[in-house]
Chains A and B, each alone.
Chain A
Amino acid sequence: MTKEECQQIVLDIIAEIAPDEELTGIKPEVRLRDQLDLDSMDFLDIVMELRKKHGIEVPEEDYPQLASLESCAEYLTPKFNAVNA
């Protein structure tokens, strides 16, 4: 799992959660909340989908790690690799 693949997985989840959001041109280094209309309920669903679809657990204290696509990839790629190992 590369960081780019991981970012795409997160984008796919966001596309499912918020189908009315325009996702092309999202900057990975900018906070997602500053580019999209996402609130804490949407972030909860990102966490729920990561668990449901990919078996990945994100404890509540780690939610800030999901702030941008880049930080998502930093945080989640090792977890993906651990699950698939």
Chain B
Amino acid sequence: MAGNSSHFDTVIIGCGMAGLAAGIRLAMYDRSVLILERHNAPGGLNSFYSFEGRRFDVGLHAVTNYVDPGAKGTPLVKLLRQLRIPREALELAPQRSSRIAFPGVDLRFTNTISVLEGEIERAFPHEIDRFRALRAAVLAHDEFDLSAPAVSGRQRVGEYLSDPLLVEMLFCPIMYYGSARENDIDWDQFVIMWKALFEEGFGRPLEGVRVIIRALLQRYRDVGGKRRMKCGVRRIVADGDRATALELDDGTTITAEQIISTAGIVETLRLCSDREPAVAQANIGRLSFVETITVLDQPPAALGWDETIVFFNDHPRFIYERPREEVDLRSGVICFPNNYLYPDDAALPEGLFRVTAMADYAYWKNLPEELYQERKKYWYEKLQASAQRFLPPLAAGDLAAHARFVDMFTPRTVEKFTGHLDGAIYGAASKVKDGRTHLENVFIAGTDQGFLGIVGAMLSGISMANLHVLKGG
């Protein structure tokens, strides 16, 4: 493990959830590991930042796959075991209550599935038996069978449910949390997301994603893993079927027996010296988002906003595709990070109100700089108005009266800080379930391998490290 600092057993590209989890597994079993990260901060798509003394999460609304202590055999429990990280280190507090809001119909849900079931019984009494049958099919399905062929989620769900509105309402949160495909999702992914959102649930550390990243970094350090920040990879040098070296942005070269890349499948292929610069264009994800963050002068609950997440859509049909306008105001996701059941009545220092909506990457990317800020302001206002249609009206004053600070990111921001093409936070449309590439010692992990969310990304790193390095080694 010691010695030559330019050769490693495994080099991991990306210091996010997947990369750190893979690195921990390999270092635990005495592989020499180096994680390379282009950014100066860890976390990738789930990073964090500070601005004027305030701390923000980049991606985290909720850690899905939350389960209460004592649960067994679930993805969160499995990954904690695999990484040998105690549950307490993640400091997860459960959500209070969330909602799917369509015109005229609300479905509340919590971390207990019987609440959702009760809501469906109330709002869609004619569908309750079909819903239970669908749920049984979900629970019976082995979504981690990497060899199973792809089936359309909409098709399979349509075999169970007959009320199209209920189908749309269930697809809305599942797509938003998230699908890389427009308007449909693989049945496997649907099952993964259903279990993550409805059977398990939402949690969040009081201090946000940095708690999770800190736990991963600590563990990685403790097992002897190495990392270099502000150190991007410029090229993966291919020679026949193998990668023989990595060229870094600073011009130096390192070598490795294996490479695990969490940069994304298209991004990784484009790093390979034996691939054209524009390879795999068609697989670049088409879904990207804008997100507004408003710091409030009170906790949201004091303003009458006491829910955790609200998925809203103002049409009977839920459209999930790259919009033709800059921002699609028909639907979105509202998040109040304050509204988790933090221990001992601990609370965030300020109120937070986040709104996410689909956005057209091309428009935001091509905006001239002088217009970028102006359009952000324009769409900020539109997005707050859109979201407030689905929230209890403020008792006094308008949102502006309660806003202390505002931030907003666009697809351009995501691409800039994570390198993920087109700001596609859920990655490529076609996933690579076995993590293999055309090079026999280069593998991918993270969202393009197909496990979604923070827990999914960690499990992906673990699974790919286990499958391709530890088992093979």
A residues neighboring B (CB under 8 Å):
17-18, 20, 37, 39, 41-42, 44-45, 48, 52, 60
Residue of B nearest to A51 (CB): B29
B471 to A60, Cβ gap below 8 A?
yes
CA gap between A44 and B467 in the complex, in Å: 10
Beyond A42-B81, A44-B471, 20 additional contacts (C-beta under 8 Å) are A17-B81, A18-B81, A20-B72, A20-B81, A37-B73, A39-B73, A39-B78, A41-B78, A41-B81, A41-B82, A41-B462, A41-B463, A41-B466, A44-B466, A44-B470, A45-B82, A48-B29, A48-B470, A52-B29, A60-B471
CA gap between A78 and B440 in the complex, in Å: 35
CA gap between A39 and B470 in the complex, in Å: 16
CA gap between A40 and B272 in the complex, in Å: 33
Q: Within residues 12 to 33 of chain B, which ones have a CB less than 8 A from any CB in chain A?
A: 29-30
A-B contact pairs, 24 of them (CB 8 A): A17-B81, A18-B81, A20-B72, A20-B81, A37-B72, A37-B73, A39-B73, A39-B78, A41-B78, A41-B81, A41-B82, A41-B462, A41-B463, A41-B466, A42-B81, A44-B466, A44-B470, A44-B471, A45-B82, A48-B29, A48-B470, A52-B29, A52-B30, A60-B471
Which residues of the partner chain B approach A17 to less than 8 Å between Cβ atoms?
81
Which residues of the partner chain A approach B78 to less than 8 Å between Cβ atoms?
39, 41
CA gap between A17 and B463 in the complex, in Å: 16
Residue of A nearest to B81 (CB): A18
Interface of B is mostly: helix
CA gap between A44 and B466 in the complex, in Å: 8
Which residues of the partner chain B approach A44 to less than 8 Å between Cβ atoms?
466, 470-471
Interface string of B429-466 (1 = CB under 8 A from A): 00000000000000000000000000000000011001
Q: In whole Å, how far is A18's beta carbon from the nearest beta carbon of chain B?
A: 6
CA gap between A65 and B415 in the complex, in Å: 49
Which residues of the partner chain A approach B30 to less than 8 Å between Cβ atoms?
52
Which residues of the partner chain A approach B462 to less than 8 Å between Cβ atoms?
41
Q: In whole Å, how far is B227's beta carbon from the nearest beta carbon of chain A?
A: 22
Which residues of the partner chain B approach A48 to less than 8 Å between Cβ atoms?
29, 470
CA gap between A18 and B83 in the complex, in Å: 11
CA gap between A48 and B470 in the complex, in Å: 8
Most buried by B among A17, A39, A45: A45
Residue of B nearest to A44 (CB): B466
Which residues of the partner chain B approach A20 to less than 8 Å between Cβ atoms?
72, 81
CA gap between A17 and B82 in the complex, in Å: 8
Q: In whole Å, how far is B151's beta carbon from the nearest beta carbon of chain A?
A: 24
CA gap between A17 and B29 in the complex, in Å: 13
Q: In whole Å, how far is B466's beta carbon from the nearest beta carbon of chain A?
A: 6
Q: In whole Å, how far is A34's beta carbon from the nearest beta carbon of chain B?
A: 14
Q: In whole Å, how far is A37's beta carbon from the nearest beta carbon of chain B?
A: 5
Residue of B nearest to A18 (CB): B81
Which residues of the partner chain B approach A37 to less than 8 Å between Cβ atoms?
72-73
Task: Please name the 4 residue pairs, one residue from A and one from B, whose CB atoms are nearest each other, closest first.
Answer: A37-B72, A48-B29, A37-B73, A41-B82
Residue of A nearest to B78 (CB): A41
Residue of B nearest to A41 (CB): B82
CA gap between A39 and B463 in the complex, in Å: 13
Residue of A nearest to B70 (CB): A20
CA gap between A52 and B462 in the complex, in Å: 18
CA gap between A50 and B72 in the complex, in Å: 25
Which residues of the partner chain B approach A18 to less than 8 Å between Cβ atoms?
81
CA gap between A69 and B462 in the complex, in Å: 26
Most buried by B among A17, A18, A48: A48
Interface string of B74-104 (1 = CB under 8 A from A): 0000100110000000000000000000000
CA gap between A42 and B466 in the complex, in Å: 11
Residue of B nearest to A17 (CB): B81
CA gap between A30 and B471 in the complex, in Å: 26
CA gap between A60 and B471 in the complex, in Å: 8
